[in-house]
Amino acid sequence: MRCPHCGNYIENTIWEALKPYRGVTDRVVITNIDTILDVGPRIRAIFEEKNGKLKIRGYQAVTLKKVARALRVPLYYIERIDDRVRLFEFDRYQRVNSGEFLRADHLIPVFSGSVEEFGDWIYRKYILHTPPSSKGRKKWWR
């Protein structure tokens, strides 16, 4: 399969398995999700990390937006350079303009600081007040 923007082949197991169907799968987008934050009884957020430069391909932004919207969770992009982290939220209901890369003005700055400070931010925002997943549930043994 080819990237719809740069034309390079994207190699992974799914693409390799779909090689015989290349002409049929031009509308297929396969992307990975870097991090899913699952705390307590539910998924809390989706994070996509970019090291060094915040270049987000448009087709990946659309796919991640669909996943975040379906799960009703925020979608964040992390830009990390050494020990510094900048976090941006992407409004999962906004339209993604066509183009190779997502424009920077589509991202909402949320956090800037060290990796340790970022951990504190995640803890305060998503972990601190979340009830444990086993509270009030029966335990199932395998």
**Per-residue confidence (pLDDT) for residue 64, from 0 to 100:** 94
Q: Is the pLDDT of residue 2 over 90?
A: no
Q: Is 25 helix (H, G, I), strand (E, B) or coil?
A: coil
**pLDDT digits 0-9 by tens, 57-99:** 888 899 999 999 999 999 999 999 999 999 999 999 988 876 7
Q: Is the pLDDT of residue 136 over 60?
A: no
**pLDDT digits 0-9 by tens, 15-57:** 778 878 877 766 777 788 899 999 988 999 999 998 878 888 8
Nearest in space to 114 (alpha carbons), one of 80, 68, 72? 80
Nearest in space to 34 (alpha carbons), one of 16, 10, 56, 17? 56
Q: Is the pLDDT of residue 5 over 70?
A: no
| 45 Cβ contact partners less than 8 Å away, ≥ 6 residues apart | 36, 37, 73, 74, 75, 76, 126
Mean of all residue pLDDT scores within the chain: 83
**Res. 140 pLDDT band, cuts 50 70 90:** very low
CB atoms within 10 A of CB 85: 20
CA dist 65 → 29, 46, 75, 85 (Å) = 13, 10, 7, 21
**Per-residue confidence (pLDDT) for residue 104, from 0 to 100:** 79
**Per-residue confidence (pLDDT) for residue 80, from 0 to 100:** 92
